[in-house]
Chains A and B, each alone.
With several copies, the nearest count.
Chain A
């Protein structure tokens, strides 16, 4: 193998490249949270946080923390000039009402029909961490997923013909950014838009349970 997978920061940076100025974007917890760090400050992208923050900015200097201002991961943030605050129902009206140009979520698995599984590993998972993922998944104009292409331990593919974990939503993922490729979810299935340098088509297919197509 002569290719080098992206690390989590690298995936976030790769996603940031594809977000144009003016988009209104929600970033999920995990890899997606890092995306905003890689959007240049002179490219105005407005970040939404489920807890009612419109225009979330970067973390404050440690001596300038505002305890009343956190993001959906309850991390301290700042507010961009032009940002505003709404209550929780209005905040989810933004998410569910189709007002987000983009939502980026982490996931366990994505299927070739756009299904996403990102909140539980089995139906009776003792962890019940649905949060706002189901709302964001059905509501955003575009749903992109950021995740490693394969599981850490057994190397199983997260790019599936069908999800094996409980679904977050059906048929909603438009694009997947992994550590080795960028895949579009099209009518026929996963279409490869980009791969890391040095990776071959065959190697990418070997790492993917679903069949891949090339653009």
Chain B
């Protein structure tokens, strides 16, 4: 019997290695906060963190950054006065700023087997400096590569033992695409449901993308 549930956060995060690329969803909500706290406790270092935003002064992203175990941050948005902004200014953090739609598309590309793609986003800007471009149908485009995760930490509202997930409202955000893009996809779910309880037409993230699930009731 397939059963992707693990008993606790430590089991969920076992084996995450130094140097891993960690995909972390969240956009105001939908961030796997308990797993993120667990990752700090787990101790992996030299991480590349892929996340929408560098976060504010406080909160889980700031805590992880403050732990000093993130070598590189890949995101669309960093405030100068945030922990990320200060670490970058101090030369302690590598930063790759990616337009948000390109970030989402690069993550989806990793999950979908697309090896590279051309997009007009960011062409003709300083983000394009030194990068490969091509004019397609009269539009200047940048060549973008997939972002593969070693680990994705995912937040869910419901999960069953095959790892089928639902997400609440806009808490869906990056969760389904990051689940697709990692070698190891670990989920924290608010609710556990029986196999078949999620209607087959309304699964938001199919279990094929999920490897471990831990139940975090609240």
Contact = CB atoms under 8 A, between A and B. Distances in A.
A touching B, CB within 8 angstroms: yes
A127 interface: yes
B153 interface: no
B208 A82 contact: no
A94 interface: yes
Contact of B1 (A44, A81, A170): A44
A33 B77 CA distance: 18
Interface stretch (A62-70, A174-182, A194-202, A203-211): A62-70
Interface string A160-190: 0000001111100000000000000000000
Contacts of A22: 2
B125 A129 contact: no
B66 interface: no
Interface size class of A (residues with CB under 8 A): 35 or more
Contacts of A193: none
B113 A139 contact: yes
B195 A82 contact: yes
B170 interface: yes
B80 interface: yes
Interface stretch (A84-92, A104-112, A144-152): A84-92
Contacts of B180: 93, 97, 99
Contacts of B88: 126, 128
A131 B76 CA distance: 5
Given A24-B208, A87-B177, A97-B113, A130 B170 contact: no
B170 A94 contact: no
A21 B3 CA distance: 11
Given A51-B28, A129-B78, A123 B126 contact: yes
A142 interface: no
Contacts of B20: none
Interface residues of B, number: 70
A74 interface: yes
B79 interface: yes
B124 interface: yes
Nearest to B106: A89
Given A49-B170, A66-B169, A170 B80 contact: no
Contacts of B195: 81-82
B51 to A, nearest CB: 12
B137 to A, nearest CB: 12
A40 to B, nearest CB: 12
Given A51-B173, A66-B169, A97-B112, A84 B201 contact: yes
A82 B164 contact: yes
A132 interface: yes
A54 interface: yes
Given A53-B170, A132-B76, A84 B28 contact: no
A92 B125 contact: no
Contact of A131 (B85, B89, B100, B169): B100
B206 A169 contact: no
A87 B175 contact: yes
A52 interface: yes
B32 interface: no
A150 B30 CA distance: 39
A96 interface: yes
Nearest to B139: A138
Contacts of A166: 125-126
A85 B169 contact: yes
A97 B204 CA distance: 18
Interface string B1-24: 110000000000000000000000
B108 interface: yes
Most buried by A among B121, B195, B203: B121
B174 A88 contact: yes
Contact of A92 (B100, B139, B196): B100
Interface of A: 21-22, 24, 42, 44, 46, 48-55, 66-72, 74, 79, 81-89, 91-99, 120, 123, 126-136, 138-139, 166-170
